[in-house]
Amino acid sequence: MTPRVLAIANQKGGVGKTTTALSLAAALAMTGRRILVMDLDPHGCASAHVGIFPEAVAASSAEVFWAASPGAVPWERVVTRPEKAAFDLAPSHARLADMEWDLRERKGKGVLLREALASGPAYDHVLLDCPPHTGVVLVNALVAADLCVIPIQTDFLALHGVRNLFDTMRALNAALPRPVPFRALATMCDRRARACRRVLALLREKFVGRMFETIIGLDTKFREASAAGCVIQDIAPDSRGAREYDALAQEVLSL
């Protein structure tokens, strides 16, 4: 079974990328789907969020790129189940930041992840928490993606950060047989603030037909979940944030 791959990407930090990857994974898992989150960010925020640290793992998502062939990825060592999670995780590794050098002479280096997932373990969905910078790892994630989910904070400065990602996607689209499909996701929205409402209106105007209806608002329970090493659904399943990611999961399943 080939999983549906969702790349959670934005080349600006602090927009809710990791929160979206983990909270959406949990919401999808609650529908009975088998879910894998791959932490491709060398900073390892998604891994640390659920209590998995580089020094405690036998292998990481970097193995996908180091393996001699897509079929040689040691998934049984790469994948772990965080203690409090309903989904599996392929944790990060700091060496993901060095992949440009590690893969400098590798042929077909832009499709390694796609081919590895096609021959990997059976999952319904694989969510990729992407690195914030342009490079071979981000290119692999976008090439592998059936859908790129772009979290965008409802802040005017955040709008500028999306440009770099779209520059990368435009370059890929010139070489790929099909464009990278995407949907924008409004995050960290304070509906009481006029500025946030204005940014939301601009997003809806810019991404007509390519924006999720679900809006992720501010919720202190996200920080509490992070401090507890879990996701918002674990500590506050009836909170607004949890309900919003549940709604997002339903949108993803309907696409």
**Lowest model confidence (mean pLDDT) among 13-27, 49-63, 78-92:** 49-63
The residue assigned the tokens 């992070």 is 226
Pairing between β-strand 147-153 and β-strand 35-39 as defined by DSSP bridges: unpaired
Dihedral in degrees, nearest 10, Cα atoms 230, 147, 97, 120: 80
Mean pLDDT within 13-34? 95
pTM equals: 0.95
CB 39 within 8 A of CB 72: no
Please say if the pLDDT value at position 224 is more than 80.
yes
Please say if the pLDDT value at position 166 is more than 90.
no
**Lowest model confidence (mean pLDDT) among 35-39, 205-209, 238-242:** 205-209
Residue-wise pLDDT tens digits, 63-119: 999 999 999 999 999 999 999 899 999 999 999 999 999 999 999 999 999 999 999
CB 196 within 8 A of CB 163: no
Alpha-carbon distance 250 to 244, whole Å? Answer: 10
Question: In this predicted structure, what is the pLDDT of residue 56?
Answer: 81
Q: Which domains does the chain have, with CATH numbers?
A: 4-254 (3.40.50.300)
pLDDT bracket for residue 32 (50, 70, 90)? very high
